Amino acid sequence: MNSRILLAILMAAVLACGGEHRAGTTDTATVRSSSGADLTGAGATFPYPIYSKWFSDYASATGVKINYQSIGSGGGIRQLTEGTVDFGASDAPMTDAELAKAKGPILHFPTVLGAVVITYNLPEITKPLRLTGDVIADLFAGKITRWSDSRIAALNPGVKLPQKDVLIVHRSDGSGTTYIFSDYLSTVSPAWTSAPGKGKELSWPVGIGAKGNEGVAGQVKQTDGAIGYTELAYAKQNHLATAAIQNAAGEYVEPSIESATAAAAGIGANLPANTDFRISIVNAPGAGAYPISSFTWLLVPRTIASARKQKQITDFLRWYLAKGEQSAASLDYAPLPQPIIAMLTSRIDSISAGSAP
């Protein structure tokens, strides 16, 4: 009897402590936000290095602190939908279904370009292997199983291809890189469109799954005859052997910052004025365009309840388009082409303060 009363008192005390604690954290949060350092964002891991540079440069330039958690594109979209962050970031545009679940309209702002490279382990071959979209699709679908296949030989005249089995290495974790790659394969190969299709994780017909860019690159490096795909920035920093891929104009293009920007320019030249920027730039037209390229996006609500946050976010968007883009290449990210920067800058004005309709 007595012990029960004591237990009740104890529980009340614990709850009270918890309550006080919570009140305490809200207080500090308010204090912090009133000092102007309170934008939070979450999402894609691929652009995290450049975003963290931007946010730190921006904080030293303006004093506005932006806290970004690179928890993955899916997590970013989830958190934005639930309204727990001020903005999201994603390597794949939000689907119509995801947009419908959000509390209000969401705007997509491309920030930088990513490209996916095809890397392989064939010590015999010294200059970049040439590949076309349908050959890549058939390799990753398991239809071409040997390097000496006549279709690969036809693309590489004068190159002596080894008699080796092909080992496919793909990402095992859900990833924007897989999304861009499968988006490309779905665009160039009708067979790939029906299966496995396009997504951040796929039901791969063949091969070994490795975790992360480093997992794929490590497995490819260790296995003679292996082929996989990684991010351009990762491949550049680790000096991986990469294939030159035939683009829509028929040229073989090696992956680089310039050829990724060229892909965006090729698409950007024909964009309608009212585009929502949820656009794929794989297999882009135009000279020198690298075909497996993609935007990565910031996701910003069109109406932001707090006028202060609305100003902070729009100020930041203007800053990254004007200043941030210039530092992108220093971290191996391809900057947006000028016409697209101009279109995006004029679009910032559509972000309004007030409650969602």
Partner 1 sequence: MTLPERAIIATRQEDDGVTLRIQGAAIGDRVYSGAITFFALCIPFLLLAIAWEIGSAGWPALHKFGFGFLTSSDGDPVQGEFGAAPAIYGTIVSSIIALVLATPLAIGVSLFLSELAPRWLRQPVGFLVDLLAAIPSVVYGLWGIFVLLPVLRDPVMPFLRDTLHLDKTGLFSGPAYGPSMLAAGIILAIMVLPYIASVSREVLLAVPRSQREAALALGATRWESIWGAVLPYARSGIVGGIILGLGRALGETMAVTMLIGNRPEIAASLFAPGYTMASLLANEFSEASSDAHLSALMAVGFVLFLITVIVNAIARWLVWRVR
**Site for partner 1, rule CB under 8 A:** 2-3, 6-7, 10-11, 14, 71-75, 77-78, 97-98, 165, 167, 172-176, 195-204, 207-211, 215, 218-219, 222-223
SS3 132: coil
In the bound state with partner 1, the residue whose beta carbon lies nearer, of 167 and 351, is 167
In the complex with partner 1, the residue whose CB is nearer, 130 or 200, is 200
Please report how close the Cβ of residue 174 comes to partner 1 at its closest, in angstroms. Answer: 3
The nearest distance, CB 151 to partner 1, in angstroms, is 22
Residue 278 CB-half CA count within 13 A = 12
In degrees, to the nearest 5, what angle opens at C-alpha 114 toward C-alphas 191 and 288? 80
Shortest Å distance, C-beta 319 to partner 1: 28
Residue 304 has φ and ψ, to the nearest 5°, of -115, 125
Length of the chain, please? 357
CB 242 → partner 1: shortest distance, Å? 22
Nearer to partner 1, 195 or 271 (CB): 195
Strands 106-120 and 87-90: unpaired
Choice between 208 and 341, CB closer to partner 1: 208
Q: Find where tokens 């382990």 sit.
A: 121
Compute the least distance from the CB of residue 96 to partner 1, in Å. Answer: 13
For residues 12 and 271, which CB has a smaller minimum distance to partner 1 in the complex?
Answer: 12
CA angle 155, 160, 161 (to 5 degrees): 70
Name which of 24 and 197 has its Cβ closer to partner 1.
Answer: 197
Secondary structure letter of residue 329 according to DSSP: G
Q: Kindly state the smallest distance separating residue 13's Cβ from partner 1, in Å.
A: 10
Q: Residue 352 forms beta bridges with which residues?
A: 303
Which residues have a Cβ under 8 Å from the Cβ of 306 and sit 6 or more positions away?
Answer: 353
